[in-house]
Structure 1
């Protein structure tokens, strides 16, 4: 896949080489390897460690961070607010469509109604201590693993986009993305100016190849979650694949690095947001940007079957 006009800025605002090279996210040039902040929930009792890890990410050339108010009920956003200043040039991406549910069987609950989307944006603005969030993803329930909407949580896309575009017009949201969506939904939403899509996607979960190709054609960033396979125990994991293990051993990398590197090779609009609460793991993730997969490796990995399954938590 090719996409014209890719950015060429080799360094971040802090002067570090961009982790994984330069990619495009909306109107911004960002590191292709970003940071998914969800795992920082594990550091809720050690905010200094969380802030230090985020600062280390910037030192390593990361300038694209993905978060949500429902990560640690606002705690993760507070870490981000403490870690970064405007001079760092870090693009912050959050998401709405769910809210924290710490006492429930699942740690979040859906919040799909337009009034709930607005309330979630306001919550993110407060916890991030900003007047404007660079990008906000509307997390729907159209595809992939996760919760499924029922009752008053089944909301028409047009009503949701009306709320999102109104907040963009008000300056609270810089740009709009989508998450857990189908090709049909992205096509319908295109006039709203969608800049990114977050869906579950990995070497072993390629059901969305057609949607990925659509995003390449329309200059929409593809930001996969579960990039190494599903977190659910009974679904396949990239690091368990014999072909991945063999390539990793032959090239001298970890299986995780090979799985992430395959995504960087897969399409030019793919941006990664691997998460961790450990500095050594962060450094290994960033080092994925230096992994070169030769033709033999790509051919071997290309033969791995896609056999993802959908899981509902509702």
Structure 2
């Protein structure tokens, strides 16, 4: 069953059409191209970050992804300042890690139930919300990143119990998962899962089965690293000859081709590309209007899945 909104031609409260068209997330119609706020940085200036978020909203994006551990609360504070209730933005946060400024990746895992609850409370305070519409439980079962060990090896059932309790208390509206395996997803579905965030792109398609399962279960698929990564150890979509050829043919950038391919892959795919640059923001939004014909899709689909891993939060 396609994950499409019920009001495909209805604009956002700002009057702009939804970039990429409408999708469904946590029971709400949202733009299929959202915005990942992780790249907003304090060193670039708070005023610049607020101004960029206003551009995001005015461009029709009504789905913003964040976390308390992004910038140790800085990003959530900027969202609180920039986003107004009348903007109609669905704010998504995540739990499962906490800032560790002196650590090698500036994060440490926080997987225990009491840590998940504390993180939701911290998000509520920094975002200035009574309830967060959707909170993703970021585990460590798959994809690039830290791996749980010791007391951070927590059973899924114990984590879901506290997430469901928080939902029942009204502190969160819906539950998502991040960095999970197919087995974990199947075990979690009875609890009610609104979305899955896993590393997935044209060059990293290990989770095809999970994507299809999400489509069948009406779960949004929200890939992180949608273009691979510019970090050492991970392949980049924009390096692929087929992507470069498509970009030349279409008169767009390789990054736009990679985003457009994801939107064409399945109707339940929502994107959260992040940037702190207004020009890049415009380019990401424009990717939602790129049409890929059958020949181009076939050429892109033939790109092999690459391997590579890196220690990231």
Residues paired across the two proteins, number: 312
In the TM superposition, what are the counterparts of 1:283-302 in structure 2 within 5 Å? Answer: 283-302=282-301
Runs of 4+ in 1 over 6 A off after TM superposition: none
* 1:28 match: 28
The gaps in structure 2 that reach 5 residues or longer are none
Over aligned residues, Cα RMSD in angstroms? Answer: 1.3
User: Cα distance 1:199–1:231, how it changes in 2: closer, same or farther (>3 A)?
Assistant: farther
TM-score w.r.t. the length of structure 2 is 0.97
* Partner SS state of residue 133, structure 2: strand
Which secondary structure does the structure 1 equivalent of 2:175 belong to?
Answer: strand
Question: Is the 2:233–2:308 contact (alpha carbons within 8 Å) kept by the matching residues of 1?
Answer: no
The 2-side partners of 1:81 and 1:313 are apart by 27
1:67 is aligned to: 66
In 1, Cα distance between equivalents of 2:52 and 2:3: 34
Taking structure 1 as the reference length, what is the TM-score of the superposition?
0.97
Residues 16-70 of structure 1 deviation map (CA, whole Å, 9 limit, x = unaligned): 10011000001110000000000002x4451111111001011111000000001
Matched, 1:227 2:243: no
C-alpha separation in 2, matches of 1:256 and 1:72? 25
Alpha-carbon distance in structure 2 between the residues aligned to 1:39 and 1:226? 13
Match of 1:244 in 2: 243
Aligned partners of 1:228 and 1:237 also within 8 Å: yes
Does the 8 Å CA contact 1:125/1:132 hold for their aligned counterparts? yes
Q: How does 1:73-222 map to 2 (within 5 A)?
A: 73-222=72-221
Query: Cα gap change, 1:130/1:44 in structure 2, threshold over 3 Å: closer, same or farther?
Result: farther
Q: Displacement, 1:313?
A: 5.1
Where in structure 1 are there 5+ consecutive unaligned residues? none
SS of alignment partner, residue 95 of structure 1: strand
For 2:272 and 2:3, how far apart are their aligned partners in 1?
Answer: 23
The SS at the match of 2:14 is coil
Distance in 1 (alpha carbons) for counterparts of 2:135 and 2:63: 13
CA contact (8 A) 2:4 2:267 kept: no
- For 1:313 and 1:246, the matched residues in 2 are separated by 31
CA deviation digits over 1:250-270, x for unaligned, max 9?
110000000000000000000
Mapping 1:36-55, distance limit 5 Å:
36-41=36-41, 43-55=42-54
- Please tell me whether the aligned partners of residues 95 and 138 of structure 1 are also in contact (alpha carbons under 8 angstroms): yes
